[in-house]
Amino acid sequence: MKFGPHQSIKRVAAIALVGLVAGLITAFATIGFVELVHYLNDVLYVSASSRAGLDSGRLWLITASVLSIGGLVVGLTLRYGVEGGTQTGPADTIYAVQLREKLRSPISGVSSTVASILSLGCGASVGQYGPLVYLGTLVGQLTNRLPFGLSDVRSIAIACGVAAAISTAFNAPIAALIFTHEVILRHYSLRMFTAVTVASACGYLVANVVFEHPPLFLIEFDGSFRWVEFFLFALEGIACGMLAVAFMKLLHYSTQLAGRVKVPVAIKPMIAGFILSLVALQVPEVLGAGQEVFRQSIQGGIYTADALLLILVTKLLVTVLCIGFGFAGGVIFPALLIGVLFGALFALLVPGQLLNDYSGLSVYAICGMMALMSPVIGAPMTALLMVFELTRSYEITIAAMVAIVFANLIAYQWYGRSLYDFQLGQRGIDLSQGRERAYLMHHTVADLVTDALPVVQQDIRLSELRQRMAEKSTASAVIVDADKKYLGLVLQHQLHDQHDSSSVAAIDIAQGPEFNESTSIWDAMETMRGYVGEAIPLIDSDSGRYLGAIPEAVVINAYLDAGHELRREEYEV
């Protein structure tokens, strides 16, 4: 659809304004989120600097108390403040954007964000970037209420909020732009691209100009790679892919285990917090998100191989415990940290032992970080661009590219595209075969029901049946019993040579395809491939009662309308 010059200017201004408003609000909210977590870490003796002056007795008591009480508060916040009693996250954002479904209420979003701040603040081993993605979603949800005069403002505003959150948190506006399209939107359009670019730039400016927020890490690399190292990067990528699969499967098993523990849901984070406090007394590096451990591991020279292995294993286990048992937080930063630890360990054990001179531990740590994170969230392009933005090194980006490719190949074969897609799959949403199919699989034909076919009981005479069919101008009728349970169809050709005084019971009732309340539009189209008739009955799967008829034309129109709407969203400017 083309617009005149005046309308075009208004639309461009409106699109940019959506990005500006959502971007600025999200950027300031993101900075507030991060700073509040840091403040709580200092006040609650989670950070290394605050714990340094405590004796062992007080340290144990404070750690156990903070994590246990914090877990209880988080559990109660989620139980009574969030719809469904579980935290909101990126999978909810994808679900809402892809299927045009409602998000949970803003109160639920705020409560989930508060629970995430409390979880991170008291030292739970969870990540902050997943909650920040939903914080951006929440801002977009609220921004949608402003009168911008655009169609699909909700999807645009949510995408802008997500991009601004990632851009602000990572200091990586280009990676944030690609993450939003690669993970959340799953398509590219000029209109979306414009708004999301503005929002991502706003996040970067707020983080760097207003607050001078430090980047995730700083590294300088002026060296070069030996040719054999590219085989090692590929090997590291394969190993990271396997580790990513193990991480995601352990998250699933931990959630199942938590479901089998017969205690109130609100108590489960407290149990995880107490267990974490016992582990943290031996391995304090597992507390919180772990930014300090992250930076020290990337720099190298601080941890031995034994220490890296110990932190890696314990961090992985306590992370899946905390997330599975109900602490609110994400998986992005834990995946980054586990990847950094593995990459640094790989550098010490493989190139460090095999080669006299290699490119350095930091390069392998960065490759491991992105090779493990990218298959967990399903964003290889985002990971690649993030490496370039954070290192400004073309050479390291090429090395990371090799590791990322092999990690994603392994993880896709053994697990799937991402943890988010797995979570959506548990809701019955499969995005692996495209947005249109997922949308049509999600929407059912129950919304398309009509009274196109006459409904009669077995004991009526054929004269009345003919009259009912004539009134509806149909060549078929639905037969039900006295309780309105569906028995089958009578077709027009079956009435030939039948006397008017005969009853319907004298005719062989035809059995054909049936729909129920859970039949999707996609499945309906598949069923109707070889069907010749006017409409297909909709039957209640529990009672067997007839609910109505679904004409072929209605299903086809719904199918075409859905495809047209999705394509309009992708290509309209």
**Taking the mean position of all CA atoms in its chain, how far away is CA 47?**
30
Res 573: pLDDT: 56
Strands 455-457 and 476-480 turn out to be parallel
Strands 486-491 and 515-516 turn out to be unpaired
CB 133 within 8 A of CB 89: yes
Residue-wise pLDDT tens digits, 84-112? 888 888 999 999 888 888 888 889 989 99
Place of tokens 């949403």: 429
Give the Cα separation of 223 and 342 in Å (integer).
Answer: 22
**Taking the mean position of all CA atoms in its chain, how far away is CA 382?**
15
Pair of tokens at residue 384 = 């690649």
CB 454 within 8 A of CB 534: no
Give the Cα separation of 371 and 409 in Å (integer).
Answer: 11
Residue 111, SS3 per DSSP: helix
Res 435: pLDDT: 81
Strand partners, 427: none
Domains in the chain, ordered, with CATH?
5-210 (1.10.3080.10), 229-267+278-432 (1.10.3080.10), 440-564 (3.10.580.10)
Q: How far is CA 247 from CA 198, 376, 402, 474, in A?
A: 35, 8, 21, 58
CB 299 within 8 A of CB 293: no
Contacts of residue 268, Cβ cutoff 8 Å, sequence gap at least 6: 71, 75, 258, 261, 325, 326
State the alpha helices, DSSP H only, in 392-534: 394-414, 419-425, 435-442, 462-472, 521-527
Strands 455-457 and 486-491 turn out to be unpaired
Backbone phi and psi for residue 550, each to the nearest 5 degrees, phi listed first: -115, 100
Res 534: pLDDT: 82
Res 300: pLDDT: 80
What burial class does residue 125 get, using C-beta atoms within 10 Å of its C-beta: 0-12 exposed, 13-18 middle, 19+ buried?
buried
**Taking the mean position of all CA atoms in its chain, how far away is CA 88?**
10
CB 78 within 8 A of CB 54: no
CB 19 within 8 A of CB 177: no
Residue 271's CB is within 10 A of a number of other CB atoms, namely 19
Give the Cα separation of 378 and 532 in Å (integer).
Answer: 42
Q: How would you classify residue 186: left for phi > 0, otherwise alpha for psi between -120 and 50, otherwise beta?
A: left
CB 171 within 8 A of CB 386: no
- Which helix or strand (DSSP H or E) is residue 500 part of? none
First to last CA, the chain: 8
Res 571: pLDDT: 65
Q: What is the DSSP letter of 122?
A: T
Secondary structure (H, E, C), 544-561: CEEEEEEEHHHHHHHHHH
Res 528: pLDDT: 83
Q: Is this model's pTM higher than 0.85 or not?
A: yes
Give the Cα separation of 119 and 122 in Å (integer).
Answer: 6
CB 415 within 8 A of CB 422: yes
Give the Cα separation of 162 and 136 in Å (integer).
Answer: 4
Low-confidence ranges of the chain (pLDDT < 50): none
Give the Cα separation of 335 and 316 in Å (integer).
Answer: 9
Place of tokens 């040719």: 227
Give the Cα separation of 209 and 213 in Å (integer).
Answer: 8
Pair of tokens at residue 236 = 């590291």
